Amino acid sequence: MRTNFSIKIIVAAVLLVNVAACSGQSTPTPLPTYTPLPTYTPYPTSTSVIATEISSADIIPVTVQVNGIDPVEILESNGFVFDAEFSEAEVSNYFNEGLGLSVDVYTDESISFAAYLDWGVDAAEQVSILFNVVKSIYGEDMTLWINENNETVLSGSPQVGTVGDFSTYMEYYPDSSAMVIVVSPL
């Protein structure tokens, strides 16, 4: 019985301590109610063009001087036409559809030339126009570099070099039958 009495005293003491401890506490603050976030972000369903979006009709051709020459004048005098569809803010594309030649003029004064060799035109005419454009912009040394590296590139080995104040890169892409030449200022 003594143990039963001792247990009652211990339980009473624990209750007394708990009551005393709880009496000094303030009323708990209720937690904020959870508000679920939407599971989607509503977007306009209209197909109209947003005013800040730039369409290809708004693209202005890049104006740069490369080697002291306006390349656009050279391109246009050789049958190339500005193509807004493949141009962006920092690159203008010019295409000579009759010969399968494409040229990109960049704001950093780099120019990329692409000749599509399976276009179904006379390759001699393609080369003649391409070399005329390259020579008019960069001079005879650049056409010599292209000519010297042409066979190696067509064999599958891209070529990198330097001609005057320009770095050069030339590669053949067999999937599209495109010979690409990139010339950039050093």
Which is nearest to 137 in space by CA: 87, 186, 36, 64?
64
pLDDT of residue 26: 53
pLDDT of residue 163: 96
pLDDT of residue 119: 84
Residue 67 belongs to domain spanning: 61-185
pLDDT of residue 89: 80
Q: Is the pTM of this model over 0.75?
A: no
3-state secondary structure 37-89: CCCCCCCCCCCCCCCCCCCHHHCCCCCCCECCECHHHHHHHCCCEECHHHCEC
Residue 15 lies inside a defined structural domain of this protein: no
pLDDT of residue 63: 73
Residue 136 lies inside a defined structural domain of this protein: yes
Residue 41 lies inside a defined structural domain of this protein: no
Residue 130 lies inside a defined structural domain of this protein: yes
Which is nearest to 112 in space by CA: 154, 71, 68, 78?
71
Task: Report how many domains make up the chain.
Answer: 1
Residue 1 lies inside a defined structural domain of this protein: no
The DSSP 8-state label assigned to residue 173 in this structure reads: E
Which is nearest to 105 in space by CA: 79, 77, 137?
137
Residue 56 lies inside a defined structural domain of this protein: no
Per-residue pLDDT 10s for the chain (186 aa) are 444 444 444 444 444 444 444 555 555 555 555 545 444 444 444 444 444 444 444 556 667 788 888 999 999 999 999 998 888 888 999 999 999 999 999 999 999 999 998 888 888 899 999 999 999 999 999 999 999 999 999 999 999 999 999 999 999 999 999 999 999 999
Residue 133 lies inside a defined structural domain of this protein: yes
The DSSP 8-state label assigned to residue 176 in this structure reads: T
Residue 38 lies inside a defined structural domain of this protein: no
